[in-house]
Amino acid sequence: MRCTVVDRRGFERAQRKWAGLLGEPGFRGQGGGWSRSREGVAHVFGFWESRALYDSFMARSHDRLAAAQIGTYRDLRVRLFEKMHDVKVGFEPRFSDADVLRVAHMRVKPDRVENFTLMQEKVWNPAMAGSPGMLRGVFGQAPGDEFVVLSMWDSAAEHGKYRVERIERLGLRAQTAADVAALAGDVIRVEPGWTV
């Protein structure tokens, strides 16, 4: 979920009410924070055991929890992705040890999906997993040709080193320019009070 916040204090106060997710069947974890490059943009990432349990929550409890944030944001975008694999071993939706998150959202050319997913597994994931400061991550796909990579880092400095030292070289090796039709991303400063 990404939105532009128009009432920061109200949004943050209401964000803490999402602690009501605890005990929801299938809920695994939630966290997020503020964009480091776009003023007022908030990102929140939620994790569920299955689409069926998520849909059940949406039908039963979502509106009650969301009511407190009405009017505090605009331009809400929600995207659902199915986990394909971990980036590093044993992904857990835990945010308490992360300082920054990096999200990359890609639309892949339909005839390049197979190569893209293979390069994610063989090139990008090992490079991120071996980077100092990278805690864990997840690679997911929406129906069709839309993908997301979420990585968690113990510090902005370590994430910055990874970006400077490796992105261009890895992109050439993985043929990313040939695979990706559109790429958007952000670096997010984790807000501990948003973690559920």
CA contacts within 13 A on the Cβ side of 59: 7
Domain ranges of the chain: 2-194
- Percent of the chain having pLDDT more than 70? 97
Query: What CATH fold (topology level) applies to the domain 2-194?
Result: Alpha-Beta Plaits (3.30.70)
Asked whether the beta carbons of 18 and 194 are under 8 A apart, the reply is: yes
Name which of 183, 174, 171 is nearest 145 in CA terms.
183
The strands making up 27-35's β-sheet, listed across from edge to edge, are 73-77, 2-5, 41-48, 27-35, 180-190, 100-108, 146-153, 134-142, 82-87
pLDDT in tens, 49-100: 999 999 999 999 999 999 999 999 999 999 999 999 999 878 999 999 999 9
Q: Look at the block and give the residue holding tokens 């390049």.
A: 112
pLDDT in tens, 159-180: 877 765 667 777 778 788 899 9
Which pLDDT score, from 0 to 100, does residue 170 have?
Answer: 76
| Higher-confidence position of 164 and 34 | 34
- Most trustworthy range by pLDDT among 104-113, 126-135, 150-159: 104-113
